[in-house]
Amino acid sequence: MQLIVNITVLAAIYALLACGYVLIYRVSRVMNMAHGELAMLGAYLLYTTASLFTDHPVGAIAAALVLSLTVGVLVYVALMRKMTGQMVLAAILTTIAIGILLRGVIVLIWSAAQQHPLQALKFSNPSIELIGGARISTCAALMVLATVAVYTALFVFLRFGRWGMRLRAAGQNPLLAAQRGINLNAIYALAWALSTLTGSIAGMLIALDSGLDQTMVVIGLKAFAPALVGGLDSLLGALVGAVIVASAEVLAIHYVDPLLSDVVPFLVLIAALIVRPWGLFGTREELDRV
Amino acid sequence: MGTNGAGKTTTLRAISGFLGIDDARVTEGAITFKGARIENRPPHENTRRGIVLVPERDKVFPNLTVAENLAAPVAPAAAAIERRRREALAYQFFPQLADLRHRVGGLLSGGERQMLALASGLVCEPELLLVDELSLGLAPVVVADLLRRLAEIRRQLGIAILVVEQSATVALEVADYAYVMENGRIVLDGTAERLRRHPDIQEFYLGRKSGERRSYREVKQYRRSRRWYG
Ligand SMILES: Nc1ncnc2c1ncn2[C@@H]1O[C@H](COP(=O)(O)OP(=O)(O)O)[C@@H](O)[C@H]1O
Ligand SMILES: [Mg+2]
C-alpha cells in the first residue's frame, strides 16, 4: 500500500512537471531545457513572498503564482521571441543557457543553502494515515490534488477553450494559424506562461514538502523522461509516462537500491525510445523533429 | 490565371504576409490596401485588416474538428454574438459542413476540405478573400459548385474575391475581371468579357486554334514578346 502511495506521489510530481515540457513543445517544437530551473525559481519566489507577507500565507502563494506566470511571459518576450522562426536547435540551446543563468542568479540571490518555505509560511506538514496503514504527508497529498486539478483544467482548456483551440492550431500549422488572425507571439507567450506556472506549482509543492535547494533541477530533468516517453506532444502521454517512470523508479528503490533513483527514469526513457521512438502517444510524423 | 510557376502563389502570399521564416519578405515595391502600406506586415495583422488568404495547400488544421476549425480563427469583431452569427453564416453558405462538425479536418475529402477552408476564411470577416488554386485536385463538378457559392457569397456579403484558377473557361465564366500572370508579372488584364474575346486567351488558355499550329516553345517566346506590363 505504501508503495502505491509513493508511486502516486512521484507520478504526480513528474506529471505536473512534464506537462510544462509538453505545452511548449506542442506549440513551438522547442524542448525547454530550463524547465527545472524555472520550477525552482517559482519555489524560491514563494520562499521570498512567504517571508514578505508573514501573516498572509494565501496572499504569499497567490503572489508567487502571479510572479511565476510573469516570469514565463518575460522569458518568452525577452529571450525566446527572437528565436521564433530560427532553427529549433538554436532555441533549445538558448533554453539551456537560460537554465544555467537562472541557476547562477538563484545562488546569488538566495544562496546555495537549503531553504524551508514551509517554515516561512508557518505551515506544518503532518502526515495523514490512509487506509491500509500507508502514510502520506499533507504536502504530498496536495501535490496529487494539484496535479489532478491542473490536468483537468488543461484538458478542458485545450479541448473547449477558444484559446486552447488556437494553441493546438498554432502547433499544427503556425502559418495557417497566423493567416486565420491568430497572433503567434501571444500563443507562444501563453504556452510559456502556462508551462512556467504549472512547473512552479510543482516546484513550490516539492519545496514545501522537502525543502528547497538546487537539487530541484535534477527533478526537473528527470521529469523530461516521462514527457518524452509519453510522446512530448501529448498531455495524456505525459500522464501515462509519469505513471510508468514513477512506478519503475519507486519499485527499483524499494527492491533493488535507493541509489538507482536518479538513473531509472533515463533507463526507462532509453528503453521506451528503442521500442517506440515517437513516444506512447506522440505523433509519428513528429519524429524527424525530435 | 497563369501557368505553373508564373508567380501567383508568391504574389498572394506576399500580400497576405510572411512569418519571417527562411528570410521570406518583400524586398522591393509596395503593397497598399485601403490607403495603407501593408508589405512585410505579419499575416495575423493583415487578416484583421480584412485580407484573408485560403492557401493552396495545408488549408485546414488536420487535427482540429470542422467545428474547431471554424471556432479557432480570430475575427475583428470580438463580441460573442457577432462571432456566433459569423460561424452560423459559414455553415449557411456550406451546409454540408454542419453534418461534418465533429470530423477532424485531416479526414475530409478534397472538396469538403476546400469548403472548410473557405468557410474558416469567411469567419475572419474578409473584405478581400484570396483563394489560391480553388480547383486543385477537385472534380470539375465540385469546382463549378464552389464557384457558384463564391458568387453567392460575393453577392450577399459584398466582399471582393480574388481566385487563382487554372481553367480559363471556368474562371472567365464567373469572374468580373481577370489578370494573367507570366514569369512573375501581370501580362494581361481586363474584364472577363474582354479577355474571353482576346485572341491570346482564345489561343493559349481556351485552346481555340487560330491560324497555324505552334509548338510549346514558340508559345512561350510569343508570350514573352507580348508583355503588357514592365
Ligand atoms: N515576381 C517574381 N520574381 C521572381 N521570381 C518569382 C516571382 N514570383 C514568383 N517567383 C518564383 O517562381 C516560382 C513559382 O512561383 P509560384 O508563386 O509558386 O507560382 P504559381 O503559384 O503561379 O504556380 C517560385 O520559386 C517563386 O520564388
Ligand atoms: Mg501556386
HEC-encoded secondary structure of A252-287? HHHHCCHHHHHCHHHHHHHHHHHHCCCCCCCCHHHH
Q: How far is CA B145 from the centre of its chain?
A: 15
Cα–Cα distance, B24 to B132 (Å, whole number): 18
Helix (H/G/I), strand (E/B), else coil: A164: helix
pLDDT at residue number A282:
72
Here the cell at position A95 is 533554453
- Residue B10 alpha carbon to ligand 1 centre in Å: 5
Residue of B44, B62, B72 lying closest to A165 (CB–CB): B72
Backbone angles phi, psi at B28, to 5 degrees: -140, 155
Cα(B164) to centroid of ligand 1, in Å?
A: 14
B11 Cα: distance to centroid of ligand 2 (angstroms): 9
Looking at chain B, the whole-number percentage of residues with pLDDT higher than 90 is 55
Q: What is the pLDDT of residues B26-48, one digit of tens each?
A: 889 999 999 999 999 999 999 99
For cell 480584412, what's the residue? B50
Contact criterion met (CB below 8 Å) for B122 and B129: yes
Smallest Cα–Cα separation from A29: which of A248, A262, A282, A277? Answer: A282
Q: What is the mean pLDDT of chain B?
A: 85
Q: How high is the pLDDT of residue B209? A: 54
What residues does each domain of chain B span? 8-166
Distance CA A129, CA B203 (A): 89
Going residue by residue through chain A, which has 290 residues, state the pLDDT in tens, using 9 for 90 and above: 888 999 999 999 999 999 999 999 999 888 999 999 999 999 999 999 988 887 888 899 999 999 999 999 999 999 888 877 677 888 899 999 999 999 999 999 998 888 888 888 878 888 888 777 888 888 899 999 999 999 999 999 999 999 999 999 999 999 999 999 999 999 999 999 999 999 999 999 999 888 888 888 999 999 999 999 888 888 999 999 999 999 999 999 989 988 888 888 898 988 888 888 777 777 655 444 33
Domain ranges of chain A: 17-213
What pLDDT, on the 0 to 100 scale, is given for residue B93? Answer: 95
State the cell numbers at B175: 469572374
Question: Which one of B10, B23, B28, B179 would you pick to mutate in the ligand 1 pocket, going by the greatest count of ligand atoms within 8 A of its CB?
Answer: B10
Domain range B8-166, CATH class: alpha beta
Q: Specify which residues B128 forms β-bridges with.
A: B51, B160
CA distance A263 to A266: 6
Kindly determine whether residue A176 and residue B58, on different chains, have CB atoms separated by under 8 Å. Answer: yes
Residues of A in contact with B55 (CB under 8 A): 175-176, 179
Is pLDDT at B131 greater than 50 in this prediction?
yes
Q: For B76-104, what is each residue's pLDDT tens digit? A: 776 788 888 888 999 999 999 999 999 99
The answer to whether B124 and B86 are in contact (CB under 8 A) is: no
Residues of A in contact with B53 (CB under 8 A): 179
pTM: 0.88
Residue B227 has pLDDT above 70, yes or no: no
> Which residues are CB-contacts of A214 (< 8 A; sequence separation ≥ 6)?
A40, A103, A106, A107, A112
Q: Cite the DSSP H helix spans in chain B.
A: 8-16, 43-49, 66-71, 80-93, 96-99, 110-123, 140-157, 168-174, 192-197, 199-204, 216-225
Between CA A80 and CA A96 the distance in angstroms is 12
Residue B32 backbone dihedrals phi, psi, to 5 degrees: -120, 135
Q: Which residues of chain B are at the A interface, by a Cβ-Cβ cutoff of 8 Å?
A: 16-17, 19-21, 42-44, 47-48, 52-53, 55, 58-64, 68, 71-76, 120-121, 123-124
pLDDT band at residue B206 using 50, 70 and 90 as cut-offs: low
Asked if the model's pLDDT at residue B163 lies above 90, the reply is yes
Indicate which residue's Cα is closest to atom 8 of ligand 1: B7
| B129: pLDDT strictly greater than 90 | yes
CB-defined site of ligand 1, < 6 Å: B 2, 4-10, 184
Q: Is the pLDDT of residue B220 over 80?
A: no
User: Any chain B CB within 8 A of the CB of A91?
Assistant: no
DSSP state of A212: B
